[in-house]
C-alpha cells in the first residue's frame, strides 16, 4: 500500500530562519506517529507541511504518491479529496472554532458537503456523546474551557471521518479529565483504523498513544524508534530537552537536580 506521506530531503525557512533541515520521513498506513521535541524543534512546522498549509523551499512532500504542492492544491478535485481525507487539530483550538454554537461547529463540515439533515444530526450527536460534550451543544465555543474547546475542535475534525489525523499537542494544557478523554481516543486508534501524526511533549502516555516516535532537535531528526526504545535513550531525550530536571532533598543539607524520565514502565525492559 502506498504511504500516506513521504517526506524527502525537506528544508523549510520561517522569517529567514531555518525551521527544518533535510527531513526525510515515511508515514505508514494506519500507524500512530508521535513527533517529540522541545519548543522550536520543528514539530509544528512539519505538521503544517503534512497538512498542506505550508510548503518546503527544498525537498518534497507526497500524499499517497502524488506531489503535495501549492499548485496541486489549487486544483479543485485534488483539494477537496485531500481535505476530506486529512484533518488537522491545531494546538490552540481558538484558531479553528468560529461557529455560534458547539452543534454548529461540529455540523459545519458535513453541511458544506450537503449531507442530509438527519445524517448530520446523527453524526453530531454521536461525536458529542463520544467526547462527553453533549451537554455543551448549545453553548458558544468561546465560552468553553480550554479542554472543552479542544474536544470540540477534535469533534469538528472527526465529523467527516478523515482517514488521516494531524494533531498538534492534543494533550497540552488540559485538565486531567480532558487529557483522559483525548488519550482514550488516541488509544482507540491502535487498531490501525486511522493514520495519526501528532506532536506531543507527553512522555507518560507515549507507549499507549503512539506506535513510533520521531525526535526532532533544532529542525533535524535526532532519532526514530518505538516508544520504549526512545524512552530508554536518556542521552537522546536530554539532548532534545525532553526531560524535566527535578530537585530532591537528601539527608545532607543539600539538594540535587537531575533529569527524570516520567513514563509508565520505562524502567522495565
- The predicted-structure confidence for 162-202, as pLDDT tens digits, reads as follows 999 999 998 887 888 888 888 898 999 999 999 999 999 88
Please state, as a whole number, how many other Cβ atoms lie within 10 Å of the Cβ of residue 193. Answer: 11
Tell me the mean pLDDT in the region 114-118: 93
Residues 61, 67, 70, CA angle at the centre, nearest 5°?
Answer: 85
pLDDT in tens, 10-59: 999 988 889 999 999 999 999 999 999 998 899 999 999 999 999 998 99
Straight-line distance from the first to the last Cα atom of the chain, in angstroms, rounded to the nearest whole number: 33
Residue 267 has pLDDT above 50, yes or no: no
Structure confidence at residue 258 (pLDDT): 45
Cell 524527502 belongs to residue? 8
Does pTM top 0.85 for this prediction? yes
Structure confidence at residue 171 (pLDDT): 85
Percent of the chain residues topping a pLDDT of 90 = 71
Residue 261 has pLDDT above 70, yes or no: no
How far CA 172 is from CA of 26, 42, 93, 150, 168, in Å, comes to: 25, 17, 11, 10, 9
pLDDT in tens, 215-241: 999 999 999 999 999 999 999 999 999
Structure confidence at residue 252 (pLDDT): 53
Of 263 and 45, the structure prediction assigns the larger pLDDT to 45
DSSP-derived secondary structure for 115-150? --HHHHHHHHHHHHHHTT-GGGTTS-GGGS-HHHHH
Mean pLDDT of the chain: 89
CATH of domain 5-101+161-260: 3.40.50.300
CB 194 within 8 A of CB 226: no
In the chain, DSSP finds a helix count (H) and a strand count (E) of 10, 12
Cell 486529512 belongs to residue? 86
Question: What does the block give as the cell for 254?
Answer: 543539600
Give me the phi and psi of 209, to 5 degrees please: -100, -10
Structure confidence at residue 263 (pLDDT): 44
Which range is least confidently modeled, 2-16, 111-125, 251-265?
251-265
Quickly state the pLDDT bin for 143 (edges 50, 70, 90): very high
3-state secondary structure string across 66-105:
EECCHHHHCCHHHHHHHHHHEEEECCCHHHCCCCCCHHHH
Amino acid at each position: 500500500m502506498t504511504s500516506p506521506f513521504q517526506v524527502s530531503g525537506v528544508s523549510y525557512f520561517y522569517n529567514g530562519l531555518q525551521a527544518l533541515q533535510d527531513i526525510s520521513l515515511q508515514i505508514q498506513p494506519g500507524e500512530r506517529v508521535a513527533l517529540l521535541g522541545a519548543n522550536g524543534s520543528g514539530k509544528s512546522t512539519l505538521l503544517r507541511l503534512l497538512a498542506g498549509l505550508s510548503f518546503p523551499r527544498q525537498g518534497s512532500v507526497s500524499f499517497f504518491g502524488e506531489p503535495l504542492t501549492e499548485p496541486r492544491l489549487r486544483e479543485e478535485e485534488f483539494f477537496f479529496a485531500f481535505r476530506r481525507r486529512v484533518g488537522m487539530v491545531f494546538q490552540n483550538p481558538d484558531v479553528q472554532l468560529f461557529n455560534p454554537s458547539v452543534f454548529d461547529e461540529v455540523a459545519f463540515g458535513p453541511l458544506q458537503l450537503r449531507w442530509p439533515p438527519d445524517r448530520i444530526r446523527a453524526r453530531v450527536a454521536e461525536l458529542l456523546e463520544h467526547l462527553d460534550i453533549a451537554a455543551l451543544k448549545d453553548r458558544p465555543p468561546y465560552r468553553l474551557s480550554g479542554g472543552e474547546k479542544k474536544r470540540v475542535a477534535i469533534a469538528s475534525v472527526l465529523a467527516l471521518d478523515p482517514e488521516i489525523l494531524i494533531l498538534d499537542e492534543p494533550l497540552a494544557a488540559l485538565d486531567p479529565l480532558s487529557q483522559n478523554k483525548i488519550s482514550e481516543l488516541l488509544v482507540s486508534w491502535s487498531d490501525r483504523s486511522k493514520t495519526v501524526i501528532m506532536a506531543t511533549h507527553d512522555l507518560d502516555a507515549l507507549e499507549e498513544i503512539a506506535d513510533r516516535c520521531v525526535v526532532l532537535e533544532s529542525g533535524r531528526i535526532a532519532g526514530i524508534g518505538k516508544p520504549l526504545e526512545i524512552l530508554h535513550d536518556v542521552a537522546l531525550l536530554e539532548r532534545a530537552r525532553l526531560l524535566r530536571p527535578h530537585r530532591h532533598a537528601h539527608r545532607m543539607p543539600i539538594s540535587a537536580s537531575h533529569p527524570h524520565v516520567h513514563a509508565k514502565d520505562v524502567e522495565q525492559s
